[in-house]
Structure 1
Amino acid sequence: MQRRQIIQWGAASLAAPAFMAQAQSFPSKPIKLVIAFPAGGPTDITMRSLADNASRILGQPVIVENKPGAGGTLPAQALQTVAADGYTIAQIPLGVFRLPYTTKINWDPVKDISYVINVTGYAFGIVVPADSPLKTWTHFVAWAKANPGKLSYGSTGTMTSPHLTTELIAQKLGIELLHVPYKGSADLMQSILGGNIMAAADSTGFAPQVEAGKLRVLNTWGAERLAKFPDAPTLKELGLDIVQNSPFGIGAPKGTPPAVVKRLHDAFKQAMEQDSYKTALARYDMVPMYMGTAAYQKFAQDTFTREKALIEKLGLAKGQ
């Protein structure tokens, strides 16, 4: 028994310097950052800005890979099958915390991801074409009540925050809407501009189209009105006690060495603070929303619990 313990202690003492050396030399090759939505949308544009900044700080390229679909959860799922060495990291949208309640998975969104840093959150709202007869939220609700299940709206995917929040709004108002899911904001904007749907629930990826006079904002979902759209009321102003900003950040595979997590955290925190990233965010009324590693891990646990209540309230849980 003593001999076995001595061998184990010896192995551990040899592994420790190797572990430290790995962490100190990180990164020695490019890092892949997997994001949850397609190229050309607000997530892609802002995360590429962040990745460019981080590349310069880390001294290695941070290469963005788009993996859209499945309500924004594919990057988190990808972390379950790659080495825990920090060379593959992923965007973690809020939809990740809903997965076990709506589908069968063999991993835990809280325990099986190393949460590195939260970087920002979305500003959301509902828009209609500029020439739509639904000129205000009052018109929208009245038309939906008069035509149950016929008012079509698009979102960035089933079980995403735009989808679930709109369904919660509909439930509170006693209206029935027709949901049409898309892979991301870029596809959604093409569809509403093409006349395929009557409305869109989205992050402010719609901002350029509103500013171009092609879309109109009926409401926004933050605690206060957006500076870019001061005429659009918040949900709270419309009598709905709902605030949604859907924070998201970056995760690494479970078991990633703490020193590597810290190196990634420090680099991305510095990248967040640069003007180029803040400018990219401002284009979509987004702002830096920092949570350090420990705070982000706690946020993951708290959100996982809260999202269960929302899924059950909407009757969307497995078996409901």
Structure 2
Amino acid sequence: MTNIDATRRRVLQAVGALGAAAVVPAARAQSWPAKTIRFVVPFAPGGSSEIVARTLAAELTNSLGVSVFVENKPGGAGNVAMGEVARADDQHTIILGHIGTLAVNPYIFEKLPYDVNKDFKPVSLSTKVPSLYVVNPDVPARNLKEFVALAKSKPGKLNYGSAGNGSAGHLAFEYLKIATGTFILHVPYRGSGPQITDLLSGRLDAAAVGAPAILPFIKSGKLRCIATGSSQRIPQLPDVGTVAEQGYPGFEMTQWYGVLAPSTMAPAAIDKLAAASARAMQSPKSTERLRGDAAIIVGSNQNDFARFILAEQQRWKPIIARAGIKPD
């Protein structure tokens, strides 16, 4: 064999190897998902996060052809689940990202079991949910103006509950306190479910809760909505003014949820999941289910979600510092 023939053979072998390497990701993309997908929700059942996750999981099951099951795994303001999923390498575990775990926790915890911007890949921003500011009907305030006046007349006498330190409800109410200059005691719970139970019973005076979880109680008269955190009034509560129009221009508070994958998940699988997630949120069934709860459907691509997370981190970092929000 001549030197030219030997060189030619090595070149052909190298090209063949490159071709085979290129085929592997393509094959993996076609074969993924190969089994049931575990969709982790880092909070207790009963809140907006579960409603969004189960709506999304149902549509993903139809789109991807495998079962997508929701697993609630609360603890540590969402950090327990986030840390576990960050280490998952089975290619079939994903998690519901949230304003708390992605834009709040990095600034209130000295040490986290995960790195928001390194251990996860943003997949798709699913939905935004207006925070509704509500009171127990026994509280003598029918709107935000009356509530603020009441709070200022009794500094520290009123309380509000949240799903835990660093939760969206905690952030929303502290933001309102800063805007209105009021002093209202915070009572953290371990999840939205027990918080709402105590709000309904009158053990709590007020709360800021995502619309899907709280609208049924407002409509039934069991709770009174004094303001919405949305930029405009929501169709479900046309007579309730926004915080902004009740005297605090520029105020806006919405929770948001999106799909995240561990950074170890194959890029081809993430691409496929991102496309399926966007379709799932924009499906007629999801739209009908969530818009009835005042949720704003998004279904973004990966890059847009990544930019959104960064913008939210920059937005909330100074507010968290000013409010002095600390973990449990």
Under a length normalisation based on structure 2, what TM-score does the superposition of the two structures give?
Answer: 0.87
Query: Once the two structures are superposed, what CA deviation does each residue of 1:272-296 show, in whole Å capped at 9, x if it has no partner?
Result: 1222211221232112112201111
| 22-31 vs 277-286, which moves further | 277-286
Instruction: Give the structure 1 partner of residue 132 of structure 2.
Output: 125
Give 3-state SS (helix, strand or coil) of 1:290's partner.
Answer: coil
Quote how far apart the aligned CAs of 1:317 are.
7.0
List runs of 5+ in structure 1 lacking aligned partners: 1-5
Q: How does 1:179-198 map to 2 (within 5 A)?
A: 179-198=186-205
User: Which amino acid letter does the alignment assign opposite residue 45 of structure 2?
Assistant: A
Q: Is residue 83 from structure 1 mapped to residue 92 from structure 2 by the alignment?
A: no
Q: Is residue 302 from structure 1 mapped to residue 311 from structure 2 by the alignment?
A: yes
Q: Is residue 206 from structure 1 mapped to residue 214 from structure 2 by the alignment?
A: yes
Instruction: Give the structure 2 partner of residue 314 of structure 1.
Output: 323
What is the rounded CA distance, in whole Å, between the counterparts of 1:195 and 1:55 in structure 2? 40
What is the rounded CA distance, in whole Å, between the counterparts of 2:14 and 2:198 in structure 1? 61
Under a length normalisation based on structure 1, what TM-score does the superposition of the two structures give?
Answer: 0.89
Give 3-state SS (helix, strand or coil) of 2:298's partner.
Answer: strand
Are the counterparts in 1 of residues 25 and 268 from structure 2 also a CA contact under 8 Å? Answer: no
Are the counterparts in 2 of residues 129 and 193 from structure 1 also a CA contact under 8 Å? Answer: yes
Q: Is residue 223 from structure 1 mapped to residue 231 from structure 2 by the alignment?
A: yes
List runs of 5+ in structure 2 lacking aligned partners: 1-10
Q: How does 1:131-170 map to 2 (within 5 A)?
A: 131-170=138-177
% identical aligned pairs: 32
Are the counterparts in 2 of residues 137 and 219 from structure 1 also a CA contact under 8 Å? Answer: yes
Instruction: Give the structure 2 partner of residue 64 of structure 1.
Output: 70
What is the rounded CA distance, in whole Å, between the counterparts of 1:9 and 1:309 in structure 2? 53
Give 3-state SS (helix, strand or coil) of 2:157's partner.
Answer: coil
Instruction: Give the structure 2 partner of residue 276 of structure 1.
Output: 285
Are the counterparts in 2 of residues 76 and 91 from structure 1 also a CA contact under 8 Å? Answer: no
What is the rounded CA distance, in whole Å, between the counterparts of 1:30 and 1:219 in structure 2? 41
Paired residues in the alignment total 312
Instruction: Give the structure 1 partner of residue 272 of structure 2.
Output: 263
Q: CA RMSD in A?
A: 2.4
| 7-16 vs 34-43, which moves further | 7-16
Instruction: Give the structure 1 partner of residue 5 of structure 2.
Output: none
Q: How does 1:17-32 map to 2 (within 5 A)?
A: 17-32=23-38
- Cα distance change of structure 1 residues 181 and 10 upon mapping to structure 2, 3 Å threshold: farther
Quote how far apart the aligned CAs of 1:136 are.
2.5
Instruction: Give the structure 2 partner of residue 3 of structure 1.
Output: none
Instruction: Give the structure 2 partner of residue 40 of structure 1.
Output: 46
Are the counterparts in 1 of residues 275 and 301 from structure 2 also a CA contact under 8 Å? Answer: no
Quote how far apart the aligned CAs of 1:74 are.
3.8
What is the rounded CA distance, in whole Å, between the counterparts of 1:213 and 1:106 in structure 2? 42
Q: Which of structures 1 and 2 has the bigger CA Rg?
A: 2
2:256 to 241, 244, 247: 247
Quote how far apart the aligned CAs of 1:53 are.
1.2
Give 3-state SS (helix, strand or coil) of 1:202's partner.
Answer: strand
Query: Once the two structures are superposed, what CA deviation does each residue of 1:180-211 show, in whole Å capped at 9, x if it has no partner?
Result: 12233332221111121111211111100111
Are the counterparts in 1 of residues 159 and 206 from structure 2 also a CA contact under 8 Å? Answer: yes
Give 3-state SS (helix, strand or coil) of 1:180's partner.
Answer: strand
Quote how far apart the aligned CAs of 1:46 are.
3.0
| 71-80 vs 47-56, which moves further | 71-80
What is the rounded CA distance, in whole Å, between the counterparts of 2:139 and 2:318 in structure 1? 35
What is the rounded CA distance, in whole Å, between the counterparts of 1:298 and 1:63 in structure 2? 28
User: Which amino acid letter does the alignment assign opposite residue 22 of structure 1?
Assistant: R
What is the rounded CA distance, in whole Å, between the counterparts of 2:119 and 2:183 in structure 1? 37
